[in-house]
Amino acid sequence: MAKKSVSKKNSSAAKTARKKSAKKAAGRVAAKAKKTVSQTSAKARPPKGPVWQWTALQTAAAIRSGAISSDEVVEAHIARMPDGNPKLNAVVVDLSEDALKAAKAADNRTKKSEPGALHGVPITIKENVDYQGRPNPNGVPAQMNIIAPSDAPVVRNLKKAGAIVLGLTNTPEFSFRGFTDNPLHGLTLNPWDAEITCGGSSGGAGAAVAAGIGTIAHGNDIGGSLRWPAHCNGVVTIKPTQGRVPAYNESAAAERPMLAHLMSAQGPLARSVGDVRAALEVMSQRDPRDPWWVPAPLVGPRPKGPIKVALAKLPDDMDVDPSVRAALRQAADRLERSGYRVSEVEVPDINGVWQTWCDIIANETAMLQEAAMLKVTSSDFHAAWSGIKAKANTLDLLGWMRATAARSTHVRAWQLFFEEYPVVLAPTTVKPTPGPRADAISAERTRELFWNDLRFISAINVLGLPGAVVPVALHEGHPIGVQLIAGRYREDLALDAAAAIEKRADALVPRLWEKMA
């Protein structure tokens, strides 16, 4: 009980400090932020609407053209933060002061050198990768003394491209839950509705970018942690092929085990497919610290003729909500109208693939991390972990070797499947978005969530395949997204299909902003 009281005290103090910092920054820049865009420059015509509503691509183009400065863009985004973040608790480390300095430096550099692809573009970073000089607690109070000696590759690549970091976003303890809550920073809410989860583990990232705090949010995904928050918050993402985006935390006490590395990926969340594509290109630049990084081209050969899309047949044992079936049909129709040929097809052994993912991640975690994690985590974490572990088979060495061999069999089957159907259209979840702490209700509820609801998300991690999520519709005021899966290093095919759906869909986020206003 003593530990819990201290955690709450620390969380309350941290929240108070963040609110004071945000208020101070907002007050300092409010006068400048109120200046209309039309007053910023007569050199070029900027996009319509408030600066914080612009896409990353629009923002970068406006800065390059001279329509607005990096400083003015960052000021507008900092002024936006107090409007949304205090209620959401999405950005938990406010870097406004550093962001303003970086923006001014960016404007000075523009006069001397060619700007990067994301020059002056405001972004956020998930607080589970190294950010030089900052703690990397990963949602755990006991890890606040872990200070990053250097930037993680994905942070370094974004900064090299000129992106400006506004703050660090919330994540559950050890980034291990699909619901963003922890004793260090507290619960992150969904900007659409506080009664549903923002997802996880990149829930802070998804909530922030949906609410208009930054144009691009960094996140990562080992069991759905990019795609699930994208679905919950009504934004776009791509979980890249493993090896596409380099990863490394110098602050880590030990290397990750091999399969955990092969199932995990760094990636972007944004409000448009175009922004996700641009962010992926920047994030995927080489870093010698990741031995698994692959210099694969971002665009591959286009299949001949109309691209065949497999609408994944849902297993008979899945309890599927009618709203999900309707969203999948809607997405399929939009693809058909864009020239794709969609057929409902059974994909290769999705149940066996998911079980292999569950067995591998649960056994690796139990052997290498469980004892240490349980000592420093909350009862909610214990409940969620128990649910995942209960669905896994306990493996001895022989069982482990068979599981890793089975992974290769599954990957091969899917690769052969993509020869006929280059893209798979599948659900993210098959049920309405649950409450903000649904996985902590009981081990049984957690098993239901991961096995029934999110089966088509987590299964893709063990395959190492790219998966995009794009919003399709609202159901009872809550976003529904669909997943587009493609072959290894064919993020371009997944994103092209997502863009075809996006082109014919009503934009959801502007409705959210109207609601928030």
Is position 23 annotated as part of the catalytic site? no
Could you tell me which residues come within 8 angstroms of residue 466 by beta carbon, excluding any fewer than 6 positions away?
238, 239, 240, 241, 244, 485, 486, 488, 489, 490, 491, 494
Is the CB of residue 170 less than 8 Å from the CB of residue 127? Answer: yes
Mean of pLDDT values over 283-288:
98
Pick 157 or 37 by higher pLDDT.
157
CATH 1.10.287.540 applies to domain 2-294+311-516: no
Dihedral of alpha carbons 27, 29, 31, 36, sign: negative
Would you tell me how many other CB atoms lie within 10 Å of the CB of residue 172?
31
Mean of pLDDT values over 239-261:
94
Percent of the chain with pLDDT over 90: 87
Supply the pLDDT for residue 109. 84
Supply the pLDDT for residue 241. 98
pLDDT 10s digits, 104-153? 999 998 667 788 999 999 999 999 999 999 999 999 999 999 999 999 99
Rounded Cα–Cα distance for residues 225 and 220 (Å) = 6
Peptide bond into 201 cis (omega under 30): yes
- Identify the helix (H) or strand (E) that includes residue 258: helix 258-263
Helix (H, G, I), strand (E, B) or coil at 345: strand
Is the CB of residue 320 less than 8 Å from the CB of residue 430? Answer: yes
CA atoms within 13 A on the CB side of 495: 27
Tokens representing 340 are: 């794709």
**pTM beyond cutoff 0.85:** yes
- Answer yes or no: is pLDDT of 372 > 50: yes
pLDDT 10s digits, 1-24? 333 333 444 455 555 555 555 455
Beta bridge pairs of residue 219: 267
- Answer yes or no: is pLDDT of 306 > 50: yes
- Answer yes or no: is pLDDT of 474 > 70: yes
Burial class (CB in 10 A: 0-12, 13-18, 19+), 64: middle
Supply the pLDDT for residue 258. 84
pLDDT 10s digits, 48-100? 999 999 999 999 999 999 999 999 999 999 999 999 999 999 999 999 999 99
Supply the pLDDT for residue 506. 84
* Catalytic member of 201, 202, 378, 458: 201
pLDDT 10s digits, 386-411? 999 999 999 999 999 999 999 999 99
Tokens representing 154 are: 């994905």
Q: Which of 8-17, 256-265, 466-475 has the highest mean pLDDT?
A: 466-475
Is position 201 annotated as part of the catalytic site? yes
- Answer yes or no: is pLDDT of 33 > 80: no
**Amino acid occupying residue 381:** F
- Answer yes or no: is pLDDT of 277 > 90: yes
Q: How far is CA 459 from CA 261, 312, 407, 427, in A?
A: 15, 13, 11, 12
* Catalytic member of 7, 96, 175, 225: 225
Rounded Cα–Cα distance for residues 402 and 400 (Å) = 5
**Average pLDDT over all residues of the chain:** 92
Pairing verdict, β 423-427 and 308-312: parallel
* Catalytic member of 11, 69, 96, 126: 126
Pick 385 or 43 by higher pLDDT.
385
* Residue from 276, 195, 59 nearest 477 by CA: 195
pLDDT 10s digits, 173-213? 999 999 999 999 999 999 999 999 999 999 999 999 999 99
